[in-house]
Amino acid sequence: MSYAAGRAPYLKVGCYTVVMLMILGGLIVVFGDFRSGTTESYSAVFADASGLKKGQKVRVAGVEVGKVSDVELQSDASVLVDFTVASTRPLDTATRAQVRYENLTGDRYLDISKGADTQQVSALAPGGVIPEASTSPALDIDSLVGGFKPLFRSVTGDELNKLTAALIGTLQGQGGEVRTLLDTVGSSTSMLAEQDSVIGELIDNLNTVLTVADKRRNELSQSVGDLQAIVSQFANQADPMDQIIDHLEGATLAGGGLLANIRPDIRESVIHLDTTTANLVNGQEMLDSTLSKLPEAYRRLGRMGGSGAAFQMYACQGILRLTGTDGKNVDIPLLDQTTGRCAK
């Protein structure tokens, strides 16, 4: 009885150890991605396989069927990816390979899918190569975000916050946010399209300005040099410039005081300017006639004052006009000189 009692602890420890080893073996098999069965090796040529590493998964229709065995850069800047696929999943010449994101942390996996042309295909022999024309690199997040830069420049901060919130909601699986996202992007792109003619005209004008500046580069360089010389002269004559600025300040203050005093008069003048302009427009014919006669009148005035600082005036004709009892005018000549200075 004592012998059986002495063996009991060893049996318990042994059973516990066996169970733990079985659990540990199961964890190793699960997390170590150990697969049973035979596999075949293939290769694929990519223009860009950034992020894809040795040991990452190969999937067909979302099911893991193999591993990436090697990633090698070729002399022509292409990337040769070697991978294995379970023998139960043979590939053909129409097979396509694409690098995809496995999670948000940036891990990739190799996705194998059937091509569009399935009529004239043949089995891809083990060790065969999928050409670059049948492969696609992973989505370039930098290019995707960079493509939003023109949109981000055209929207306001509130619109950008709404767009970001809708994008986050979409990534979190909130399908209802997709419509808001598309509406925001649509309104922003519509605004850019409406301003297309203005943007095009601005670019054309800018091209014209740059063309003229290029043709006159010598004059422009000379102008910049002259401007630099002027600035240098101002810098060398700092004291006189300070005095000029002080005087300008005083003149500005005096001018401000003067304008403050005459502001009411200027206001009244501006108010009545509308009436004056209307009268000038209505009397345009009379104004034109008067202005056309001014040169001859000025010439006559010039002849009158041609002998010195005083005007010399001569009486050439005098008429006394009376009104008769019948209401008609009666002219009585008093003086009528037609010779000398009065000659026409």
* Least confident segment among 91-100, 203-212, 231-240, 251-260: 231-240
Percent of the chain at pLDDT > 90 equals 0
> What are 51-85's pLDDT values in tens digits?
888 888 888 888 888 888 888 888 888 888 899 88
pLDDT computed for residue 245 by the predictor:
75
249 pLDDT above the threshold of 80: no
pTM (whole model) above 0.75: no
Specify the pairing of strand 108-113 against strand 63-73: unpaired
pLDDT computed for residue 95 by the predictor:
86
pLDDT computed for residue 216 by the predictor:
83
**CB contact set of 124 (below 8 Å; sequence gap of 6+):** 42, 90, 91, 92, 93, 95, 130
Mean pLDDT of the chain: 77
Q: Contact at 8 Å (CB) between 304 and 313?
A: yes
CA 25 remoteness from chain centre: 60
